[in-house]
Amino acid sequence: MAKNYYDILGVSKSASEDDIKKAFRTLAHKYHPDKKGGDEAKFKEVSEAYAVLSDKQKRQQYDTFGQAGPGMGGAGGPGNFGGFDFSNFGGFQNGQSFEFDLGDIFGEMFGAGGRRGPRQRRGRDISIDVELPLKEALFGTERRVLISKLSACATCEGTGAKKGSKMQSCSICNGKGEIHESRNTFFGAFTSSRPCPTCHGRGQVPQEACALCRGEGVQKRQEEIRITVPSGIEDGEMIRMPGMGEAILSGTAGDLYVKVHVRADKHFTREGNHLLTSLSIKLTDALLGGDFTIAAPDGDVSVSVPAGITHGEVLRIRGRGVPLARGSRGDLLVKIDITFPKKLSRSARELVEKMRSEGL
C-alpha cells in the first residue's frame, strides 16, 4: 500500500519547508530509537517521508507520480535508508561511515541549541525548613541556622591546589577541559563531549593537590547561615538564597531554599492581609457597650464596642493587620463573642422579665 508522506509527518500538501522541517524535528525527537520509548520503525518511516518532502525535486516528483516516481521508496541501496538520502547531510558515499552535525535537525534531541560551549558546572541546591511564630512571620526576623554542606575548602580556598603549587595542563584531556566520545548509531559515528572528570573542565590540574580536600576544592563542613525573613511572609512560602547551596570545583555554588512554616497562634489567625481574633464580652456589655483592650502581636489595641452589638458581629480596626508594601498594613478584624450567663439570680431574673415585658 502506497505511503502518504504528508500524513506521516502530519502536514498538509501545501506545507512550507519550515513546516515540514518542524514536523520532522518533533516526530524524530519522539520516535528516536536511542530514546526510552522510541520506535525505530516509526523513525525510519518519518525519516523516509522527510527525505522526500525536504528535497524540492523529489517532492515535485512525489506530488506528480507518488511513490512510483524515480527514487521513491524501494529497498534502498548505498546512501539510501528506506528512501532517506543521507547524502543530504554530506560525508556519506558508497556505503561508508559518515559524521554530520546534529545541531540543526536533532539539536533538541541531544541537547537543544546545537553547538554550544561547555556548560558551567553548578553545585547542588539545598532545601531546609524553618518554623516561625506568627509575630515573626508578620513583622520579619533574622534566623541563624547551622547546616552541613559541601563548602569551598578553607585551606586552598576552593582551588584544589596546595598553597604555592603551580597549575599544569591536564594529561587526560590535553588541556582542553573536555573529553570527546564516539558511538555508532544507524546514522553512523556520532561524537559527543563531556567535561573532563580529572580536571573538572578546567583543562589544568595542580602539580600538588591540597592535602585537606585532596584536590577536590570542596569539603564537607558545618556552616552557620543567616536567614533574613521578610515581613508578611506566609506559611509554606520559600526564601531563595542564591549561591548559599553546595559548592563545586570550577563552578558556581547551588542555591539554598528555605521553606517557612508559620506556627498556629492561640489568639490570632491570618486571613489574607488581615488578622482575625475574637473578643468575649458579657451580655450587659453587649447591651450597654464599652471599651476593651486586646493584646495584639505588635502591642495593645483599644476596641470600642457599641451598645446593642450582636453576637458574631465583626469590628474592623484599620491598619493593625499584616504589614504590606510601602509601609501600609491590613486590618485587624475583631469578632464579638457574647457570653450568656448560665444562671440568673432572683434580682437579675426580675430585671430580665421586666425587659421582656417592655418588649426588649
Same domain, 277 and 246: no
**Cβ–Cβ < 8 Å for 102, 188:** no
pLDDT of residue 90 exceeding 80, the answer is no
Same domain, 134 and 258: yes
pLDDT of residue 41 exceeding 90, the answer is no
**Cβ–Cβ < 8 Å for 233, 133:** no
C-alpha cell at 180: 570527546
Which of 246, 264, 282 is the C-terminal boundary of a domain? 264
Range with lowest mean pLDDT among 7-11, 118-122, 335-339: 118-122
Same domain, 233 and 274: no
Is 76 inside any structural domain? yes
All residues at 6 or more sequence positions from 241 whose CB lies less than 8 Å from its CB, including other chains = 225, 227, 255, 256, 257, 258
Please state the domain count of the chain.
Answer: 3
Domain of residue 330: give its range. Answer: 269-357
C-alpha cell at 4: 502518504
Same domain, 253 and 275: no
pLDDT digits over 158-200, tens only?
888 888 888 888 888 888 888 887 776 655 667 777 888 888 7
pLDDT of residue 94 exceeding 80, the answer is no
Same domain, 11 and 87: yes
- What percentage of the chain exceeds 70 in pLDDT? 82
Same domain, 353 and 226: no
Same domain, 12 and 104: yes
Is 183 inside any structural domain? no
Which helix or strand (DSSP H or E) is residue 56 part of? helix 56-65
**Cβ–Cβ < 8 Å for 139, 231:** yes
Same domain, 22 and 102: yes
Same domain, 132 and 222: yes
pLDDT digits over 50-77, tens only?
888 888 888 888 887 776 555 554 433 3
Is 212 inside any structural domain? no
Same domain, 34 and 141: no
Is 179 inside any structural domain? no
Q: How many degrees, rounded to 5, is the angle at CA 290 between CA 288 and CA 294?
A: 145
Which of 110, 136, 158 is the C-terminal boundary of a domain? 110
Is 155 inside any structural domain? no
pLDDT digits over 118-140, tens only?
566 788 999 999 999 999 999 99
Strand pairing partners for 303? 292
Q: Taking the CB of residue 109, how many other CB atoms lie within 10 A of it?
A: 15
Same domain, 62 and 103: yes
C-alpha cell at 102: 546534529
Same domain, 104 and 143: no
C-alpha cell at 152: 569551598
Which of 60, 83, 110 is the C-terminal boundary of a domain? 110
Q: Does residue 179 come out as left (phi exceeding 0), alpha (psi in the -120 to 50 range) or beta?
A: beta
Is 316 inside any structural domain? yes
**Cβ–Cβ < 8 Å for 268, 334:** no
Residue 161 DSSP label: B
CATH number (domain holding residue 352):
2.60.260.20
Is 194 inside any structural domain? no
Which helix or strand (DSSP H or E) is residue 134 part of? helix 134-139
Of 283, 279, 281, nearest to 340 by C-alpha is: 283
